[in-house]
Structures are given as C-alpha cells and as structure tokens.
Amino acid sequence: MSLFSKKPNPAVQRLPSGSMTVDRNGNVVATTVSSTYPNSLLREIAAEVLGIFREARSAQMPLPEFNIQFASLQINAREMGGGAIIFLSPNIPFTTTSAT
C-alpha cells in the first residue's frame, strides 16, 4: 500500500437526537433516534454507557445516572435494572433558513 494511496472520503453524518433503551447486553430495545442513523453506532454508544455503569458498580460507587457533554453532543443516561435509557441531544440547534 502506497503512502499516498487515495483513501475513501469519510461520510459526514448528523449527530443523533432522541432516546434509546438498551438491555444489559447492549441490544437496542426501543429508540426514537432516526432510522437513518447507523444501528452499529447506537450499539457502540450503548456499550460505552453500560461499561461506565458496570465500572461504577465494581468500584462500589452506585451511579444511577450520569451526564456527559461534548462540544457538540450531550449524553444523559439512567441505569435501569442492568440496562439503561440513553438520551442523545446535539448541542447545536438545527436552524432552517427560508427563501424569501
């Protein structure tokens, strides 16, 4: 493989907005996130959230919920019997311009 070989352009995606409920295995049970958002990325978010709850439990520090705010995305999560409900909110509001 050449150092200067052409790499495919990464796809730009909208940030997810909505909520999802996941079981203890990280499977998405229900979601209000758009179906155009890749399910694999939702599962990845769920795995990270469940990992945080598991680490808190193993450290004997009960963590019923947490909030993470990134530059452009906020994640709020609540533990629910081994699973979780996760709320995803873009920090940048969508604006529309009207042609007049």
3-state SS string over the chain? CCCCCCCCCCCCCCCCCEEEEECCCCCEEEECCCCCCCHHHHHHHHHHHHHHHHHHHHCCCCCCEEEEECCCEEEEEEEECCEEEEEEEECCCCCCCCCC
Whether 52 is in a domain gets the answer yes
Looking at the 3D structure of the chain, how many domains does it have?
1
pLDDT tens-digit readout, 75-100? 999 999 889 999 999 987 556 665 55
The pTM of this model reads 0.79
In a domain, 1, yes or no: no
- Domain harbouring 24, CATH code: 3.30.450.30
Residue 46 belongs to some domain of the structure: yes
In this predicted model, what pLDDT tens digit does every residue of 55-75 receive, in sequence order? 999 999 989 999 999 989 999
Residue 2 belongs to a domain: no
- Domain boundaries, position 57: 18-90
